Amino acid sequence: MSDKRSAGVGSTAERAAAFARLADHHLDAAYHLAQAILRDPSEARDATHDALVQAFRKWSSLRDPALFERWFDRILVNICRNRLQHATRWRATDISTEVGLASGDHFGRAADDHEVLGDAIATLSPDHRMVVALRYYRDLQVDEIAARLGIPSGTVQSRLHYALKHLHRAIGAADAKGTV
């Protein structure tokens, strides 16, 4: 079956084979994106696995297989977001990010520039962490990010703005403590 055909057309075997072909082609990139968002290889593996299962279940709903990458990324980032939300559900955002952030509490004195930025990214909210990863890891433009997240471009711009502001504060706090 040609990949140009609708995902919902063909026998079960053909549909499964088409899905496997497209998913395999995109698998490495998907795993790397999950790593960029989740910053944990095992979490990234699990998220990618879950995305494969969900995507397969929804495969017949994809009208144009040419849009597979965008469609699959959207499933993946939603799963990553869920996992981030799940991981931080107990701790209030006010405690885990703003307070510690303003103080540079998360940053070790011996931390280098890479660690400081990594720690700062770790304090971003799930929404902010996703747009930052899509923008600066995937190098996607605002409208492409919006398509993957299913939100307006203006919201993406707003999230990027506040994410950068947040990172500035975090790095500034670390700088003030002489860690960079």
178 binds another protein (CB under 8 A): no
The residue from 9, 65, 66, 91 that contacts another protein (CB under 8 A) is 91
The residue from 60, 64, 66, 85 that contacts another protein (CB under 8 A) is 85
Nearer to another protein, 104 or 147 (CB): 104
Identify residue 136 by its one-letter amino acid code.
Y
Nearer to another protein, 67 or 102 (CB): 102
- CB neighbour burial string for 60-69, b if at least 16 within 10 angstroms, e if fewer: eebeebeebe
Q: Look up tokens 């890479």; give the residue.
A: 114
The residue from 1, 6, 10, 39 that contacts another protein (CB under 8 A) is 39
How many C-beta atoms surround the C-beta of residue 94 within 10 A? 9
Please, what is the minimum distance in Å from the beta carbon of residue 62 to another protein?
15
Burial level of 159, CB count in 10 A (0-12/13-18/19+)? Answer: buried
Please, what is the minimum distance in Å from the beta carbon of residue 5 to another protein?
16
Please list every residue from 3 through 22 that binds another protein, using CB under 8 A: 12-13, 15-17, 19-20
Please list every residue from 55 through 84 that binds another protein, using CB under 8 A: 56-57, 78, 81-82
Please list every residue from 125 through 164 that binds another protein, using CB under 8 A: 127, 132-133, 135-137, 139, 164
Site residue total, another protein (CB under 8 A): 73
The residue from 62, 73, 106, 174 that contacts another protein (CB under 8 A) is 106
Please, what is the minimum distance in Å from the beta carbon of residue 63 to another protein?
20
